[in-house]
Amino acid sequence: MCYNKAVHSGRFEKARAALTRHQIDMRKMYAEKRIIMNINIDKLHCLIDLHVHLDGSVSIPMAKRLALINGIELNESEEDLKERLQVSKDCRDLNEYLEKFEFPLTLLQKAEAITECVRMLIAGQDSQGIMYSEIRFAPQLHMQKGLTQEEVVQAAIKGLGNSDYHKLILCCMRGSDNEELNKETIRIAHTYLGRGVVALDLAGAEKLYPTKQFVGIFKEALAYNIPFTIHAGEADGEESIKTAIYMGAERIGHGIRAAWSEDMIKELADKNIPLELCPTSNLNTKVVDNIADYPIMKLINNGVKVTINTDNMMVSGTSIKNELKLLVQTFPINGIILKNLLINSAEAAFAKDSIKEQLKRKIYEELDGVTYE
């Protein structure tokens, strides 16, 4: 009888201990959730944007300034300018989204305008708490008034102002008749690598011009040891991402459609290849119809290295803080996850190791000492 009591007592104590551990774990989980929901994201200054297009981030004040440089009179109202620069909620797909680049590109055909645009974008990023960014653009799209690709890149580098924390990614463009222009972009990236330029990219209409058509071009980038990211899995699916990885991409621009393939998720996680997610942009282009359907948690929970970015601040009407707030308000993103997302961006940056360490220290300092409301 005493033995039975001892057995039951032992079982009870084990059960109570297990319950206590569970309660403690649950309290920790809810505490983390409470912390992140109470962080004032607007006050953070440890943010990073690895995927932001120069021509897609021309705000209305920037457009007015660039028009002045170009001697162009903009007689439209601010509402009309906004309509020319930003997609509506009725945007149907990526191809329609890309139409919004036509107007800002007309303002970026002079060296002075390109320099000023980069300078103004960085000033805006600094005011938004972005401590590091990689601004991308396609030099070949800025040659309409006689500039060479090299002159375009030189003008953009001038706009950086020798910053260690804002760099350039040069985009090759998807197309059927621009192979030589893409080869020139790669050669210029090699010339200015480490002098303001940190990487290459492949951008444009992914569905119309599949990634597999550009395998040969990027062999030259590999020969030059130029790191690169590739837009893949934005408008096209798993095969596009697989091809980008095969080509040697160190990061994947967007890559959100990887979430529809268990094999692709596993490959990204196993190879530690970061995704440059751009939630609002993906909503605009109808990758998903509702933010609640955005598969970020599936990617995170399966070990994929996820980063959060803006893509095109003006075209999508967003900022890096808006992107983070949108996710925090929608998903169970706790303090640990937020910190990991920012650390992922620091580690994925095409930056020197010393810069990456500085970025990570800043993230830890801010999130460990943030003021809660």
Task: Give per-residue pLDDT as tens, 181-234.
Answer: 999 999 999 999 999 999 999 999 999 999 999 999 999 999 999 999 999 999
Instruction: Give, as one character, the DSSP assignment of residue 211.
Output: G
Residue 336 lies in a domain: yes
**Domain identity same for 310 and 326:** yes
The Cα–Cα gap between 102 and 138 comes to 13
Give, for all 373 residues of the chain, the pLDDT tens digit.
343 433 334 443 443 344 334 334 434 444 454 444 567 899 999 999 999 999 999 999 999 999 999 999 999 999 999 999 999 988 988 888 989 999 999 999 999 999 999 999 999 999 999 999 999 999 999 999 999 999 999 999 999 999 999 999 999 999 999 999 999 999 999 999 999 999 999 999 999 999 999 999 999 999 999 999 999 999 999 999 999 999 999 999 999 999 999 999 999 999 999 999 999 999 999 999 999 999 999 999 999 999 999 999 999 999 999 999 999 999 999 888 999 999 999 999 999 999 999 999 999 999 885 433 3
CB-CB contact of 184 with 149 (8 Å): yes
**Domain identity same for 18 and 83:** no
Enclosing domain of residue 355: 44-368
**Can you give the pLDDT at residue 21?**
42
**Domain identity same for 236 and 315:** yes
Q: How far is CA 343 from CA 27, 128, 326, 365, in A?
A: 25, 18, 19, 12
Q: Which of 116, 206, 234, 347 is catalytic?
A: 234
CB-CB contact of 115 with 158 (8 Å): yes
Q: Could you identify the residue written with the tokens 């300034």?
A: 65
**Domain identity same for 269 and 307:** yes
Structure token pair of residue 17? 């201990």
Burial of residue 200 (CB within 10 Å: 0-12, 13-18, 19+) is buried
Q: How many structural domains is the chain composed of?
A: 2
Residue 135 lies in a domain: yes
The Cα–Cα gap between 274 and 50 comes to 11
The Cα–Cα gap between 275 and 348 comes to 9
Q: Tally the residues of the chain.
A: 373
Residue 373 lies in a domain: no
Residue 305 lies in a domain: yes
The Cα–Cα gap between 23 and 7 comes to 24
**Domain identity same for 234 and 303:** yes
Structure token pair of residue 361? 């220290």
**Domain identity same for 7 and 110:** no
**Domain identity same for 32 and 51:** no
Nearest residue to 251 (alpha-carbon basis) of 180, 195, 200: 200
**Can you give the pLDDT at residue 16?**
39
Whether 179 is catalytic: no
Q: Are strands 197-203 and 229-232 parallel, antiparallel or unpaired?
A: unpaired
- Verdict on whether the full-model pTM lies above 0.85: yes
**Can you give the pLDDT at residue 38?**
62
First to last CA, the chain: 57
Q: Could you identify the residue written with the tokens 């509506």?
A: 88
**Domain of residue 160, CATH code:** 3.20.20.140
Element (H, E) at 270: helix 262-271
**Domain identity same for 15 and 122:** no
Residue 205 lies in a domain: yes
Q: How many CA atoms lie within 13 A of 92 on its CB side?
A: 3
Q: Are strands 166-173 and 197-203 parallel, antiparallel or unpaired?
A: parallel
**Can you give the pLDDT at residue 39?**
75
**Domain identity same for 89 and 32:** no
**Can you give the pLDDT at residue 34?**
45
Instruction: Give every CB contact of residue 134 below 8 A, 6+ residues apart in sequence.
Output: 49, 50, 51, 52, 166, 167, 168, 169, 198, 199, 349, 350
Nearest residue to 167 (alpha-carbon basis) of 177, 157, 178: 157
Instruction: Give every CB contact of residue 28 below 8 A, 6+ residues apart in sequence.
Output: none
**Domain identity same for 70 and 194:** yes
**Domain identity same for 91 and 221:** yes
The Cα–Cα gap between 196 and 125 comes to 17
3-state secondary structure of 208: coil
**Domain identity same for 32 and 55:** no
